Structure 1
Amino acid sequence: MSDLTPRRVRGTVTRHEPYGFYVDFGEKAEGVVVVTMVAQDSSESNPPFPAVGAVIDAVLLGYTEIGGEPRLSVRPQDFESLDE
């Protein structure tokens, strides 16, 4: 992951996958929100995903080393860390 400072982004949910969901937020590549970046409690194995087409806020955490895919989070604690 890069050393990017996390920031809030807004985008549209484009699809669901077993491991998470994708968000188009205006960058070249869609961002991915993996299951562990959805729920406050990481033990929740099947958290609900927003509907395809929903406009959501997320936190851009950085980019994957391979492929440069944006990594996003919708966990409440990641939004709280932006406000500190």
Structure 2
Amino acid sequence: MIVGFLLGVIVTGSLTAAGFFWRFYRQTRDSLFLAFAAAFAIEGINRMAFLLIDKPSEGSPIIYLVRLVAFLLLLGAIVAKNRRVPARKK
């Protein structure tokens, strides 16, 4: 019972964070914000699916595969952001 409640809180927090990052992306068009929005949305949906499974197993490989995709998305966006050469000021 309490596990379901806590998973619901995590889902709500993840999807809320995704919404904020999506809004920041729309304002700035910075792809880093888009990556964070996607990663939080993926994690929120992953936790929601975990909540809907009859007998969930935290050690399931598919759970870790989805999390790996979300974290690699973040890592790739951070690396891409740091590799860009900033425009020179005149």
- TM-score where L is the length of structure 2: 0.22
Q: Which structure's CA Rg is the greater one?
A: 2
Bigger strand fraction: 1
Higher relative contact order (CA 8 A, sep 6+): 1
